[in-house]
């Protein structure tokens, strides 16, 4: 039924012009919305903290380390001691840091930063606020209010469960239980939106899972053993999802897990009870050097198996660790080293995915206005049906941009993590790292005036 698609010739110049036009429209919408919106307290505070650490590597490093250690600190003394050791070594803050913390203290209504209890109190409060910015609640039930809010504002969501690293079979069982509970109950806590306004296609409950959390031994050296252990836990989850009309997205993690994850997805789709079901999604990471080859072989497999699939296209969130690990092992880094090469590859992959809209539903997961505008322009040009295309953003990072896209009538899904603070810390550190990186689009785009540069074609841009 599905034959290899011959890509229709596109008017490249028009796609590029449309990309710029839509991009400007998005920026304008964002600026309009931002003007009348001061943000919630935790958003403002998060902004301030991240503004502070931008451009001060020492402070950024200290803050990340402190945030990372924070959940393990149980007394005020402990918190104050670590605060001092990470952020005020030798008992005094650097001039930059002192200024930064004066500002923070002002925001928090406290003044004496280096006396112990206020330090502990303020750190707790600041980190709790930071966590609240990126993590919706301790449990899906706690996060339900946020999810309902998303829907009221015209967004859709995908819930992600943050958790500790799974090191034992009993922990993998516990994860499976948490996922099952969420599959069976989230629909009660979060009813479908009253006025879908043509935005919802398929189930409104959408859950993201990590296969590595479903076994103590997620090891690519042993494909069959790992696949068997994961399948034993994930097949019942997917069957329950199918029975409860819940969509499951299978997240992608580090590069060493990628091929194994794809192999397990293929085995799942060959399972009698799941074959042909369209409630499963997967992820492609555009920052990987071989991302296009990998995507191509998966598309071929899907086509050969008549299997519909939702594919979330991301750039990738593990760039730093991929580079560090590769360097330690003497392996070539699996990721592209230049950001705009990733952006360009992202655009090529967007085009490949949209071309397969007969059986692929594409989720453009990015906060980069150029990437989004390009996808929207292509989708128009290629006449991709509304049901086969959506945008995705991260909780705490969509902001006015997300609201602008919704107001333009776009389908936007918010990837919404929930979990306990300890478990969430790795996620939180990744988000802070991302939001304070010089490469971050959101950072670069936070001030008006640079729109044309930010909308330039990554193939051509020389930064």
Judged by the rule CB under 8 A, the positions of this chain that interact with another protein are 65, 68-69, 72-74, 78, 81-82, 85-86, 89, 164-165, 167-171, 216-217, 219-226, 255-260, 329-331, 426
DSSP 335: B
Return the number of the residue (115 or 327) whose C-beta is nearest another protein. 327
Instruction: State the minimum distance, in angstroms, from the CB of residue 219 to another protein.
Output: 7
Token pair in block for residue 134: 């990126």
How far are the Cα atoms of 15, 352, 387, 390 from residue 358, in angstroms, in the given order? 21, 12, 11, 15
Instruction: State the minimum distance, in angstroms, from the CB of residue 331 to another protein.
Output: 6
CA R_g for the chain: 22
Residue closest to 49 by CA, chosen among 107, 114, 116: 107
Residue keyed to tokens 């593990």 = 318
Instruction: State the minimum distance, in angstroms, from the CB of residue 221 to another protein.
Output: 4
Residue keyed to tokens 């086509």 = 303
Return the number of the residue (89 or 192) whose C-beta is nearest another protein. 89
Instruction: State the minimum distance, in angstroms, from the CB of residue 222 to another protein.
Output: 4
How far are the Cα atoms of 181, 345, 352 from residue 297, in angstroms, in the given order? 34, 16, 12
Instruction: State the minimum distance, in angstroms, from the CB of residue 427 to another protein.
Output: 12
How far are the Cα atoms of 18, 29, 383, 407 from residue 25, in angstroms, in the given order? 10, 6, 20, 11
Token pair in block for residue 408: 């333009």
Instruction: State the minimum distance, in angstroms, from the CB of residue 380 to another protein.
Output: 39
Residue closest to 249 by CA, chosen among 197, 183, 319: 183
Return the number of the residue (65 or 351) whose C-beta is nearest another protein. 65
Residue 379 CA to residue 313 CA, distance in Å, equals: 14
Residue keyed to tokens 């397990």 = 264
Return the number of the residue (62 or 137) whose C-beta is nearest another protein. 62
Return the number of the residue (115 or 168) whose C-beta is nearest another protein. 168
Return the number of the residue (64 or 183) whose C-beta is nearest another protein. 64
Instruction: State the minimum distance, in angstroms, from the CB of residue 230 to another protein.
Output: 13
Return the number of the residue (61 or 106) whose C-beta is nearest another protein. 61
At residue 213, φ and ψ (nearest 5 deg) are -85, 0
* Structural contact between residues 315 and 284, judged by C-beta atoms closer than 8 angstroms: no
């Amino acid at each position: 039924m599905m034959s290899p698609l011959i890509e229709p010739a596109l008017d490249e110049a028009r796609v590029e012009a449309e990309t710029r036009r839509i991009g400007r429209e998005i920026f304008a919408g964002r600026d309009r919305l931002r003007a009348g919106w001061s943000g919630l307290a935790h958003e403002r505070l998060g902004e301030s903290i991240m503004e502070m650490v931008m451009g001060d590597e020492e402070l950024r490093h200290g803050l990340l380390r402190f945030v990372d250690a924070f959940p393990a600190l149980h007394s005020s003394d402990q918190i104050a001691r670590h605060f001092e050791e990470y952020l005020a070594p030798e008992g005094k803050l650097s001039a930059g840091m002192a200024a930064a913390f004066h500002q923070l203290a002002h925001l928090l209504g406290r003044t004496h930063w280096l006396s112990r209890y206020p330090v502990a109190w303020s750190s707790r409060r600041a980190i709790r606020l930071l966590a609240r910015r990126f993590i919706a609640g301790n449990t899906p039930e706690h996060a339900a209010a946020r999810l309902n809010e998303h829907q009221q504002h015209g967004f859709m969501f995908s819930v992600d469960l943050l958790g500790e690293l799974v090191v034992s079979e009993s922990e993998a069982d516990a994860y499976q239980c948490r996922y099952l509970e969420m599959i069976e109950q989230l629909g009660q806590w979060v009813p479908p939106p009253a006025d879908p306004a043509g935005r919802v296609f398929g189930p409104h409950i959408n859950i993201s899972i990590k296969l590595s959390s479903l076994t103590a031994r997620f090891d690519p050296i042993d494909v069959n053993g790992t696949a068997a252990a994961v399948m034993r836990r994930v097949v019942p989850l997917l069957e329950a999802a199918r029975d409860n009309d819940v969509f499951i997205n299978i997240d992608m993690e580090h590069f060493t897990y990628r091929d194994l994850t794809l192999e397990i997805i293929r085995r799942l789709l060959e399972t009698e009870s799941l074959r042909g079901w369209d409630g499963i999604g997967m992820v492609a990471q555009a920052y990987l050097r071989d991302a296009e080859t990998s995507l191509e072989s998966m598309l071929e497999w899907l086509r050969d198996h008549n299997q519909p699939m939702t594919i979330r296209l991301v750039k990738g969130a593990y760039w730093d660790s991929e580079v560090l690990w590769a360097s330690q092992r003497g392996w070539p880094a699996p990721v592209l080293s230049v950001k705009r090469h990733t952006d360009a590859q992202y655009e090529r992959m967007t085009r490949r995915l949209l071309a397969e809209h007969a059986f692929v539903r594409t989720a453009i997961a990015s906060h980069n206005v150029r990437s989004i505008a390009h996808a929207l322009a292509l989708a128009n040009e290629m006449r991709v049906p509304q049901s086969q295309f959506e945008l995705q953003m991260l909780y705490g990072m969509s902001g006015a941009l997300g609201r602008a896209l919704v107001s333009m009538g776009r389908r936007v899904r918010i990837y919404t993590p929930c979990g306990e603070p300890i478990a969430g810390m790795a996620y939180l550190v990744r988000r802070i790292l991302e939001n304070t990186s010089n490469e971050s689009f959101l950072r670069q785009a936070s001030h008006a005036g640079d729109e044309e540069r930010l909308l330039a074609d990554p193939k051509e841009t020389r930064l």
